[in-house]
Structure 1
Amino acid sequence: MSRISVLSFAVLLFVFVTPTRAEDAPEFVLSGGAFEAFATQRSAEFGLAYRFSPRKWSLIPEIGLSANSDGGYWAHLGLRYDLQLNQKWLITPQLALVGYENGGGEDLGSGLLFRSGIELGYRLTSGSKLAITLYHLSNAGLSGNNPGSESVILSYSFTR
């Protein structure tokens, strides 16, 4: 990952991460699913993430690490926003910066990528949630090679 990518991650982390409020507990996230979900050559994807307490405008900062069974791995730093449908169901749009290394997998054209996605979640208890997420990784034209990739993942999040 380049110095610019690392610096960008650090600046975003500094701007959006402040001490948590007691009523908004941070979450730990475990996920698994399909990388290149709509391609003929799919691979398994696994991830870990940490969601900070909601911040200004109810935005939720998230930092995470993921890998696929082709040897690719990436880190992301992003923002999410929970839209409550009712007491149990919510929809969460999300955007993130991604530092990516393809390993033996798909060359996405750049080490700096952007992740955009949508999640449908179901609250199991006040401190846990099960969700399905569809997200797209792309270098947004930073490179002549920009095939993009879609992932479909199932995640379980819980508070400490």
Structure 2
Amino acid sequence: MKNNFYIKVLSTVILTIFSFVVSAEENTSEHEYNIYAGNFDFSDHKQKAILVGFQHQNEKLKKDTFLGNISPITGGFITENSAVYLYTGVEWNYVMGDKLKFTPSFAPGIYHEGDGKDLGHVLEFKTEVQLSYSISESTNLGMSYNHISNASLGDKNPGANSYMFNLLKNF
């Protein structure tokens, strides 16, 4: 049953990447969408699971600050074990040369374990770092790593470490 899930996720990601690259145009948009897939809690061999997710960033709400270019994000993911995390927060964008971008972020959110890992509390905090490479004016490919924790709000705080492959597209 897990193999069917992997095939569906991989097929969806490949078709999405293909459609985005084929439709690449000049970046005149106000919205950046991040579609990602990866491995939830890869450091816990008993609880690791495939995840797929989606994130939105409104380009019009970006602000230049002393910490760099900051903007709000909203998103969520689901794992193969039906765990769900919905979040909203902020990210900082640091352009490194012509093609690379480094993006750390922080996002509190609501977690439901489904048949997956019990993280100890419904309120969880996601810290993430992402490195992306521009393949066109409006499309980036990236890789990210995040840690989700409840900051000891619950009776337990096992946390979860995840990595993802990202497709970022401006519309």
1:37 to 28, 39, 42: 42
Counterpart residue type for residue 36 of structure 2: S
- 1:133 corresponds in structure 2 to 144
Q: Could you say which residue in structure 2 is the equivalent of 1:67? A: 78
Say yes or no: does 1:48 pair with 2:54: yes
Unaligned segments of structure 2, at least 5 residues: 1-26
Q: Does residue 149 of the first structure (1) align with residue 154 of the second (2)?
A: no
- 1:144 deviates by 2.1
Whole-angstrom CA distance in 1 between matches of 2:130 and 2:64: 21
| Deviating 4+ runs (over 4 angstroms) | none
RMSD: 1.5
Q: Partner amino acid for 1:137? A: I
Q: Once the two structures are superposed, what CA deviation does each residue of 1:52-107 show, in whole Å capped at 9, x if it has no partner?
A: 11135221211002100011011010111111111101111110011100001100
Between 33-42 and 143-152, the greater mean CA deviation after superposition: 33-42
One-letter amino acid of the counterpart of residue 38, structure 1: S
Q: How many residues align?
A: 139
Say which one has the larger Rg. Answer: 2
TM-score (norm 2): 0.77
Is the 2:91–2:103 Cα contact (8 Å) retained in structure 1? yes
- Secondary structure (helix, strand or coil) at the match of 1:125 reads coil
Alpha-carbon distance in 2 for matches of 1:143, 1:104: 19
For 1:56 and 1:98, how far apart are their aligned partners in 2?
Answer: 25
Residue 16 of structure 1 is matched in structure 2 by: none
1:28 to 23, 29, 33: 33
Take 2:35 and 2:82, find their aligned partners in 1: how far apart are those partners?
19
Where does residue 15 of structure 1 map in the other structure? none
Shift, 1:23, TM fit: 6.8
Task: Tell me the distance in 2 between the aligned counterparts of 1:85 and 1:56.
Answer: 16
Task: Check the 8 A contact 2:56/2:73 in 1, yes or no.
Answer: yes
Q: Which amino acid aligns with 1:43?
A: A
Structure 1 unmatched runs, 5+: 1-21
Identity over aligned pairs, percent: 22
